[in-house]
Structure 1
Amino acid sequence: MSRVTLFLAALASLSVVSAARADGDLRRGAQVYRACVACHALEPGLHLSGPSLDGFMGRVAGTAEGFVRYSSGLKDADFSWNAAALDGWLKDPAGMIPGTYMTFRGIDDPLARADLVAFLEIAGQPGGGRKVVDEGLVPAGWVRAGAPEPIGEPSPKMHVTAIRHCGDSYFITTGEGRETPYWEKNIRLKIDSAETGPPVGVPVILGAGMGGDRFSVIFRSLADLQQFVTESCEARRT
């Protein structure tokens, strides 16, 4: 019998856990769920740092379609998500699945876990995100969680047409025809291959907060990044 199976069997035998689950409060659970919004969306197929939670209840752990960042322990755990499994996971993810990539420490309070389990038993059904919004349990924005808005067609000021690296600097040319130098440590090169990313072959530059001197250049694919970034100290001719 696997470690996970033993773990779940022990949880199922504890009447205090079952009683706490039965008393779970949906509205309190929705507030506890706030801690999950940074990493998980409720929109179908929208994976962030963690997988979408749409339809995960009753599904075999580690099998969300399109999500490839599961730890080997979770992929091999061979159990389905139900109230008992979820209670154990929320209590101590690393204790239940050693080596898990989930950095969440866990929830010690059994009543808070019971509230969150009660909420997720609804929100984690197919279409559950829309249901919990319609019932006024969470704001509509929580369905997409921290997902960025689609970039769409950029303005000339945002559209990157060339990037050259020289010394400790990036020289970035935009659709306005202007080349601007940036300290290399203030530029982050990123890929967004989802529907939120830029069009193919049209990287964009976006402000990244701080003092106005940090920027992200976002590409649609690794191929785009490799195409646009060159090593050259020869100034661009205009």
Structure 2
Amino acid sequence: SAGSIPRLAVAAIMVTMAMVTGARADGDPRRGGQLYRACVACHSLEAGSHLTGPSLAGLWQRPAGKVEGFARYSAGLRSADFDWDAAVLDAWLADPRAMIPDTRMVFRGIAAERDRADLVAFLALAMAPGGAEAVVDRGLVPAGYARGQKPEPLTPTPPGAQVTKVRHCGDSFVVTTADGVETPYWEMNVRLKLDTRDTGPAPGAPVIVGAGMMGDRVSIVFASLRDLNNLVEEAC
């Protein structure tokens, strides 16, 4: 049950602590920085920069499941009662679902003790206050790793990407851009998205972004749900 998840988590942590204390002691943060590349698709080290997963900034020895501004925790992580320290991170990296069965993190874990020790050594630096700057300055990771796969700002927008009209007709979305070009796309190749960040599209001015290796898929990004509802029409 949801209420028993924290107790399960504590039990898993205690077992793993007994097994891996020695492995953590000699972790190599430089090698850990290389391993961290597997994390950048979902996490940023920049404060307040949440991606698929929460920002890791400042989380060293801080409570799990409590990052301000991140709303996508599972019930188990929201109710968890532990801090992110070396032992807990090592247990989590070994098998996240053994600790929090309902976690939404799509990561199966790292079996090799050395790899976990090295990654924990890196995270001890990266998740401390000012960690993003520290690990980049020390050359442990490139700046892009600290930033994560945060979307690029959508403004200013060139005319060919500035959407002025979107209409759905049959099995197609027909998109008109500010350069006067009208382009039809198969409806299954179009994603309608929201980006409410201050670096997203301007209100009332959605942006079209290529999204497929073959050039046949696009995303149309709106500043708000209101814009999406107001700017997409059913018309042939």
TM-score scaled by length of structure 2:
0.94
> Any gaps of 5 or more consecutive residues in structure 2?
1-5
Q: How many Å separate the matches in 2 of 1:129 and 1:198?
A: 27
- 2:10 alignment partner in structure 1: 5
Offset, 1:195: 3.0
SS at match of 1:202: coil
Asked if the contact 2:167–2:173 (Cα under 8 Å) also holds between the matched residues in 1, the reply is: yes
Q: Supply the RMSD in Å over aligned alpha carbons.
A: 1.3
Offset, 1:6: 1.8
Asked if the contact 1:44–1:127 (Cα under 8 Å) also holds between the matched residues in 2, the reply is: no
- 2:42 alignment partner in structure 1: 39
Deviations 1:169-188 (A, max 9, x none): 11111112332222111211
Percent identical across equivalent pairs?
Answer: 57
Asked if the contact 1:203–1:219 (Cα under 8 Å) also holds between the matched residues in 2, the reply is: yes
Deviations 1:65-99 (A, max 9, x none): 11111000111111111111101100000111001
Deviates more, 1:84-93 or 1:187-196: 187-196
- 1:236 alignment partner in structure 2: none
- 2:130 alignment partner in structure 1: 127
- Greater than 6 Å deviation, 4+ residue runs: none
Deviates more, 1:40-49 or 1:207-216: 207-216
Q: How many Å separate the matches in 1 of 2:223 and 2:52?
A: 18
SS at match of 1:19: helix
Deviations 1:25-75 (A, max 9, x none): 111111111111111111111111111111111111111111111000111
Q: How many residues align?
A: 231
Are 1:150 and 2:153 matched, yes or no? yes
- 2:176 alignment partner in structure 1: 173
SS at match of 1:225: helix
SS at match of 1:2: helix
TM-score scaled by length of structure 1:
0.93
Offset, 1:164: 0.9
> Any gaps of 5 or more consecutive residues in structure 1?
234-238
